[in-house]
Amino acid sequence: MTCNLQSIDSCVLTLPASEELPADRDFSASCLIGETRLDHAIKAAATPAEWEVRLTCPTQNMSTFLRSNQPWLQIYTGEKLSRKGLAVEPMSCPPDAFNSGIALIHLAPKAIHQLHFSIGCE
């Protein structure tokens, strides 16, 4: 996600976390990203309903968003990309689920699991 390739440091992030992130800011309410670094998998607060991650750039008067119905998401502030974007990935389970079994989905032959998401800009 990006807002005209502006630095995310000056953007406001709203994140549907159901757990506290190991960060110095609370993104469950809209909060300036500043120099905060994120590289975390978190459980989304709104599951099983659709949730939204929103990145707003006040100087550009625009927002980008990602919406999904999956219970987990990965978020990364893009240090290797000069912080010009925010990586947000909806996930059906947390990292290492094959070993931990947490939220792992077992599909029978010919069974289907669907992951829905949408990305947009306002």
**Would 47 be classed as within a structural domain?**
yes
Domain that holds residue 49: 8-121
Contact 117, 65 (CB under 8 A): no
**Would 3 be classed as within a structural domain?**
no
Tokens of 51: 């949730």
Count structural domains, the chain. 1
Asked whether the predicted pLDDT for residue 67 surpasses 60, the reply is: yes
**Would 2 be classed as within a structural domain?**
no
**Would 27 be classed as within a structural domain?**
yes
pLDDT average, residue stretch 46-65: 86
Q: pLDDT tens-digit profile of 1-53?
A: 988 888 999 999 998 776 655 566 667 778 899 999 988 888 886 556 788 99
Q: What is the pTM of this model?
A: 0.84
How is residue 44 annotated by DSSP? B
CA nearest to 11, candidates 37, 30, 39, 25: 30
**Would 1 be classed as within a structural domain?**
no
Q: How far apart are CA 100 and CA 90, in angstroms?
A: 19
Q: pLDDT tens-digit profile of 71-117?
A: 888 999 988 878 999 999 999 998 899 999 988 999 999 999 888 99
